[in-house]
A and B are shown apart, each in its own frame.
Chain A
């Protein structure tokens, strides 16, 4: 087509020769560029070809992942609760272990103790790639030595040193700390954990789950050159993994330990909180479980055992258990009755032992009656009749508004998941859920915390914390801070206010007085089991009927002898003048709030305040240390 080059009619502004010259330059550029590529190919394939050919033969250059170390978990004062220990994991790289069968046979000879585990894995398809297949975790030092000594006889057998989670105090705060589990296919596909691959562990429960993104760290890797046996010859490149951050919980190890000891052989919850900040100091569930059992996959037998246990050890009762609040709810009723002007500090009622409403007698727990009661006495002695009256006047919906205002029947917003919200009934709720209208008599039952009411121990704890601190409802905190390994804070758990109790200062004072007398007044329901002559404690007992009294009389007919006994509550705080700790104890089938739950609560309060006192007395001057003497000095008698 070159003969036509002289006729470029359409180039109005430039001539054809000019265009040809420029195209010629372009051609030169193209040829130079391709010359560079050709030279590069010559360099790689001819000059250095043998080098690359050798590297390619056994796929000698490989990328290995280096797992990050998972962050540690401490208590509030820095006592280590969860750490990592080295674990030697036996793996096989099928493509290096030629032939696989023979290598496995030899391996089993060297470590006969793991024969079963090894053969179980290799009986399945292990592929033929360069990806290590795990044969046995945590083989121990003897096996490690035995295999290392015969390494040349065992091509493709690689021992990886990994960090393994170690729960130093098995069972301690197990529900709060949680455990790990292997990531599943669904989570990998959805890329919820971008840094994790199949076989990795992720937090499955508790703080391990809630703080997983901080704890897990970022994996690194290295590029290595291996020999024909698959054994490493040279590290070509390394990217160090980023270790996970350390988590400091708000719990106090000693108090937690005390609570767990006190709960032994019981079913229930014992919790404590700092009323000034909402920091959870202890959260003990009983029965508990050993988190170490979950490492490397829990065995089917153990899992079945945990799941079939009627006491449900896996249930985090503190935040997931929903119970009738029983008499502890009278605090709400009192608050509502004062707030709505139904009663004041001078209002009294006479308790003859029962209250008649609509052709039915609603009994007081004290059959002979309390006599004349004001609100303080009614709280202290837990007089049902006083609160029946309040309930009748209030009605369900007004009472529900106050209960919600106290944070009951609502999520507290604690950082671990699966929190239950409980239930505060309203007339509309009953109509919608049960289908029948609200009955006047039900106003009486709910006023004393029976009926449909359900709360979680955590809700009650937070509520009493607010009563103790003057009315501020805090969000329960479980994480004090998350720090990098260097100690720099990544996040700090600052107190978070959820709201204020629907009560003014004077009325709250009446309620606080009632709670003080419940423990300290000779007639107080908790006097016998909670009273301490050193520390002034305030609180409220509760005895939640599991089934109606009628059934109880007919006697047990379904196995468990305890199942008809009432649940026992004690919620309280101390020292009453300047509360440092608020506790909530629930013992399932503990019969009476005072005898069942009271002693546990008292013991927790006393041991915690003693340790606080000891700590401060080590620092402060001796004149300021008579907290106990001060609190023991005057009992209020009325």
Chain B
């Protein structure tokens, strides 16, 4: 553990980009919450605390050898499922969903945290089963089962966004580990058949909800309005933006959830195209770091684990920014490291801690 090489190989670049993103997040959050309502400013201080806790957990995450994660994966996975069951039993109900567990002074959202155990568990499985000509249908049954349990537990909360992310992460990892060509064709065929059949089985009101999700115009006073305002905010930023704290859209609290899911619109309005591209660039750098760590890793568990974490960050960034700019459906999806929210911040920092762990031990294992 106190091997000199660990410190020599520490991924300072990854740490740097993480801290830059956190700092940017705090700056934007301050602007987003500095509206007429003085109560809002407490979000800023809470978020600072969450970053502090998250960075501490990040450090914890690279102190031990990540091989232990392989060993303990089933236990971690099992406990995370217990948390999800706990949410359904004693969770706090708010805004039409039961997503939160209240533990002392903290309110956590286990559906965010559970992404990491899923990644670890799947990495463990795929590392053992990866082969050059692809994984067959039968070997995919177990990871499908492993994914579906947390997926359904999250789906019934309901937290559509997070449930979808879990599936996307799992699919990305499977695709990376390579699925046998025939199996892949099979899956595509099954999907072609299943989607119309499933559509028929849905209640009319459920169909309506799916359609609304896909086209926000169907809900002009809800999602449609959010998208409209969000697009105005983003578009009005022009090249260099209206200036820090000068956004007009956010000042009027017209933007929904401007400190959580729609925080990117505040940044785009105040910092313009230049600011948006900078943050986009920072995320690309983060993702490249993640893939590079997978690239440098010398065992398949570490590599697939890194790919899983990178996939998680990628999907969240892509869906969130796509949603804010109006090219993706409006689902609950925080922007990694930027959006307000303790569970999201902690999940991301733990994930990055694991990436650092894999990175600094690339010569040891």
Contacts and interface: CB of A to CB of B under 8 A. Distances in A.
Interface of A: 1, 4-5, 7-15, 18-20, 22-23, 26-27, 30-31, 33-34, 36-38, 40-42, 44-46, 48-53, 55-57, 59, 61-63, 95, 129-130, 220-221, 223, 236-239
23 contacts: A4-B296, A5-B296, A11-B299, A11-B300, A22-B178, A27-B288, A30-B288, A31-B284, A34-B280, A40-B325, A45-B234, A45-B235, A45-B276, A49-B239, A52-B232, A52-B234, A55-B236, A59-B249, A59-B252, A61-B232, A129-B252, A223-B221, A236-B220
B300 A41 contact: no
A10 B66 CA distance: 15
B130 A41 contact: no
A56 to B, nearest CB: 4
Given A22-B178, A49-B235, A63-B221, A9 B298 contact: yes
Contacts of B50: none
Contacts of B176: 22, 26
A19 B293 CA distance: 12
Nearest to A22: B176
A14 B362 contact: no
Contacts of B280: 34, 37-38, 41
A68 B313 CA distance: 44
A603 to B, nearest CB: 54
A323 B231 CA distance: 67
Nearest to B236: A56
B235 A53 contact: yes
B232 A55 contact: yes
A59 B36 CA distance: 16
Interface in B118-132: 130-132
A10 B232 contact: no
A49 B238 CA distance: 5
Contact of B131 (A14, A27, A53, A236): A14
Nearest to A31: B284
B235 A44 contact: yes
Contacts of B326: 40, 44
Contacts of A22: 176, 178
Contacts of B365: 10
Q: Size class of B's contact patch?
A: 35 or more
A371 B178 CA distance: 109
Interface stretch (B39-47, B185-193, B314-322): B314-322
A13 B249 CA distance: 55
B358 interface: no
B221 A221 contact: yes
B262 interface: no
A37 B318 contact: yes
A61 B228 contact: yes
Contact of B277 (A20, A38, A59): A38
Contact of B235 (A1, A4, A5, A51): A51
* Interface-central residue, A4, A19, A51, by most chain B CB under 10 Å: A19
A49 B237 contact: yes
B291 A27 contact: yes
B327 interface: yes
B283 A34 contact: yes
B235 A52 contact: yes
A41 B220 contact: no
Interface string B73-85: 0000000000000
Contacts of A34: 280, 283-284, 318
Interface string B291-330: 1101110111001000100100010001001100111000
Contacts of B248: 56-57, 59
Contacts of A19: 295, 300, 303
Contacts of B327: 36, 40
B236 A52 contact: yes
Contact of A223 (B225, B273, B284, B321): B225
Contact of A45 (B238, B254, B294): B238
Interface string B266-282: 00110011001100100
A265 to B, nearest CB: 53
A250 B321 CA distance: 58
B212 interface: no
Given A5-B295, A52-B231, A237 B276 contact: no
A53 B238 CA distance: 7
Given A45-B239, A239-B220, A61 B322 contact: no
Contacts of A40: 322, 325-327
A237 B307 CA distance: 44
B300 A14 contact: yes
Nearest to A66: B221
Nearest to B315: A33
Given A36-B327, A41-B234, A14 B299 contact: no
Given A4-B362, A56-B249, A46 B273 contact: yes
Given A44-B326, A45-B234, 4 more contacts: A19-B300, A23-B291, A52-B232, A59-B248
Contacts of B298: 4, 7-11
* Interface-central residue, A22, A48, A51, A95, by most chain B CB under 10 Å: A22
B58 interface: no
Contacts of B178: 22
Q: When A and B form their complex, which 3 residue pairs have the shortest distance between CB atoms, in order from nearest?
A: A52-B235, A10-B299, A237-B220
B287 interface: yes
B233 interface: yes
B229 interface: yes
Interface in B346-365: 362-363, 365
Nearest to B241: A45
Interface in B205-222: 217, 220-221
A237 B229 CA distance: 13
B341 interface: no
